[in-house]
Homo-oligomer: A and B are copies of this chain.
């Protein structure tokens, strides 16, 4: 058998030492927490299985070593490249699904979760229903009246007092953090408290698609995979109430061209929405209705 590497990954791995991976795992000591043993053990197994499956070459391994070093070397206090790398590999979306997947008893599904992303702020101000989150108007912004009802998964009844937290990029594709010359802190951020009928309403922008940074390892990886760096336009929301399981998610205009190839894989069917023309409101030209369904805090779903 040749010692050069196969190109189809189908070569039998039986020619390699069958005890090697177990030997590595067995060096873990007795003082390892059970969960740590489980997670790191599985990580080692999958890394080894990956290397044997593709017969990873020395050059490929060394390219990977250099790539991993470059991730941390690109990161700063305000740029988290490892986070971004895991996003473009689909890992953050998968972890989000693992954490929030609920198999329900009935026909009604709770609102799907999606990834938090790096731009949420704990400092967004409460605003009154009917107010606008637009502090710094952008000439390309299309003002939208967004409204909806927050209801209980099991009873269908409204959830008065639920907090609807929204944040979004401006029409230039940048969040306040990233654009201090044009945006004041908390521009396009706000929290709204649902009224006695579980209703919220306010003014925001139709969202704008944007590109991930194209000057670092995440973009190098995207280029290697012949993928684009675009996120579809989206609005981030986080809906919470002390008696309910909160929902952090994102909403996407149905006509966005990047929906099916979102570079971080955060789109789900029930999160795709229609913006409609709005007449008779001098503050907005578009309307978006989005209703949120939350399960009670102790709801376990179908076992």
Task: Spell out A's residues near B (CB within 8 Å).
Answer: 1-3, 5, 7-9, 15-17, 20-21, 23-24, 27-32, 34-36, 38-40, 42-44, 46-58, 60-61, 64-66, 68-75, 80-83, 85-86, 89-103, 224-227, 261, 265, 300-303
**Contact assessment for B68 and A265 in the assembled complex, using a CB-CB cutoff below 8 Å:** no
A140 to chain B, nearest CB (A): 28
Given A57-B95, A98-B51: A28 and B68 interface contact (C-beta under 8 Å): no
Check A90/B15 contact, CB under 8 A, given A57-B95, A61-B95, A99-B3: no
Q: Once bound together, how far apart are the Cα atoms of A75 and B141, in whole Å?
A: 44
Query: Which residues from B are CB-within-8-Å of A101?
Result: 3, 15-16
**Which of B17, B60, B97 makes the CB contact (< 8 A) with A17?**
B97
Assuming A1-B301, A23-B265, A29-B225, is B98 touching A44 (CB within 8 A)? no
Q: Are A40 and B224 in contact (CB-based, < 8 A)?
A: yes
Q: Is the CB of B103 within 8 A of A1?
A: yes
Known: A2-B300, A27-B225, A90-B21. A39 touches B60 (CB 8 A): yes
Contact B9 A38 (CB under 8 A): yes
Cβ–Cβ contact B72 & A68, under 8 A = yes
Whether the Cβ atoms of A47 and B99 lie closer than 8 Å is: no
Q: Given A32-B224, A91-B47, A99-B3, verify A80-B65 contact (CB < 8 Å).
A: yes
| B residues less than 8 Å from A17 (CB atoms) | 97
Given A28-B226, A69-B80, 5 additional A-B pairs, CB 8 A: A3-B100, A16-B101, A27-B227, A52-B94, A58-B96
A85: chain B residues within 8 A (beta carbon): 68
B226 touches A30 (CB 8 A): yes
A271, chain B: closest CB distance, angstroms: 14
Bound-state CA distance A46–B90 (Å) is 12
With A9-B42, A47-B91, A300-B1 already in contact, the answer to whether A98 and B55 are too (CB < 8 A) is yes
- Asked if A82 contacts B58 (CB within 8 A), the reply is no
Give the chain B neighbours of A8 by CB distance below 8 A.
38
Interface centre among A97, A102, A224, A225 (most CB of B within 10 A): A225
Closest Cβ neighbor of A95 among chain B residues: B61
**Residue on B nearest A245 in the bound complex, by CB:** B3
The answer on a CB contact under 8 Å between A94 and B54 is no
